[in-house]
Amino acid sequence: MRSFPPVLAAAGMMLGAGAALASAPLCKAESTATVVPVIELYTSEGCSSCPPADRWLSTLKGSAASGRAVVQAFHVGYWDYIGWADRFANPAHTSRQRQVASQNSLSNIYTPQLVRNGQDWRDYAKALAGGEPARVRIALQRNSDDAFEAQVAPAEGVGAWAAYWTVTEHGHSSKVKAGENAGELLQHDFVVRQYVPVGEYRGASKVTLRAIAAQPPHPRQVNLVVFDPKSGRPLQALSLGC
């Protein structure tokens, strides 16, 4: 059995004689004993083969809501030159995709690309296959509308770990007027609206996020993925949908 160092209580913990009690979090969650599958889809509104992959990703909303997967759609902009600029694309998403490609010894990047637990993945039907025992514990909470924090506690034997935050949104749509998808109304869920790498650590640490403001028409999910910095494979991941 792996032993974990203690994690600070989420709120209300007495820090010393006369110390004020911490404010209660607005919502919180703790990770499970097994690694939650981390699904990344690299997609573009300028790619004619991407809409079917986008539709498939939307079928995972139930799994994500129940904590059985962390799901993210990273829109990229390298097809914008064809004639339609993807408004959700960000150069940082392309940089992440290139990092994943390097870790998978791929010679190029492409869309749609499905990545499962840091690995290039072609079998969509098995994307949510059971996880292995977790080597990291995460306690995640929201302290205010935009302030999130997580206590990350690695098991014995875990060396360096790294992490990134994403904020994803559901229910976006675009009427495409040019390029390969001209005339199509594209529907998007799990759209990455904020991607924040938080560096490399050793031992138990706290990581924080100042999230972009929630947009009520588009339900927001805040995700933390903790991974091995050498292989890119997740050690654990957790989401908050509140």
Could you tell me if 76 and 97 are in contact, meaning their C-beta atoms sit under 8 angstroms apart?
A: yes
> Per the domain annotation, does 34 fall within a domain?
yes
Tell me the two tokens of residue 65: 């809501």
Instruction: Summarize pLDDT for 129-180 with one digit per residue, the tens.
Output: 877 999 999 999 999 989 999 999 999 999 999 999 999 999 999 999 999 9
Task: Report pLDDT for 131.
Answer: 79
Q: What is the pLDDT of residue 21?
A: 44
pLDDT tens digits, the chain, 242 residues: what are they? 444 443 333 333 233 434 334 578 889 999 999 999 999 999 999 999 999 999 999 999 999 999 999 999 999 999 999 999 999 999 999 999 999 999 999 999 999 999 999 999 999 999 998 779 999 999 999 999 899 999 999 999 999 999 999 999 999 999 999 999 999 999 999 999 999 999 999 999 999 999 999 998 999 999 999 999 999 999 999 999 98
148 within some domain: yes
Residue 16, Cβ neighbours under 10 Å: how many?
5
- What was the pLDDT predicted at 26? 87
Is position 118 within any domain?
yes
Domains held by the chain: number: 1
Q: In angstroms, what is the C-alpha Rg of the chain?
A: 19
Q: Is residue 49 part of a domain?
A: yes
Q: What angle do CA 31, 172, 234 make, to 5 degrees?
A: 25
How many helices (H) does the chain have, and how many strands (E)? 3, 14
Task: With respect to residue 182, please indicate whether it lies within any of the assigned structural domains.
Answer: yes
Which tokens in the block code for residue 189?
């869920």
Task: Indicate whether 4 belongs to any domain.
Answer: no
Inside any domain, residue 5: no
Exposure of 59 in the CB half-sphere (CA atoms within 13 A): 10
CB atoms closer than 10 angstroms to residue 148 = 23
| pLDDT attached to residue 36 | 97
Residue 3 lies in a domain: no
- Answer for the pair 148, 222: CB distance below 8 angstroms, yes or no: yes
Cα 63 to Cα 39, 227, 232: the distances in Å are 11, 21, 23
Q: What is the pTM of this model?
A: 0.89
The whole-angstrom separation of Cα 136 and Cα 32 is 10
Residue 72: CATH number of its domain: 2.60.40.10
* 136-142 and 147-154 strand pairing: antiparallel
Range of the domain at 62: 27-240
Token digits for 238?
Answer: 């957790």
pLDDT score, position 22: 53
How far apart, in whole angstroms, are the C-alpha atoms of residue 27 and residue 17? 27
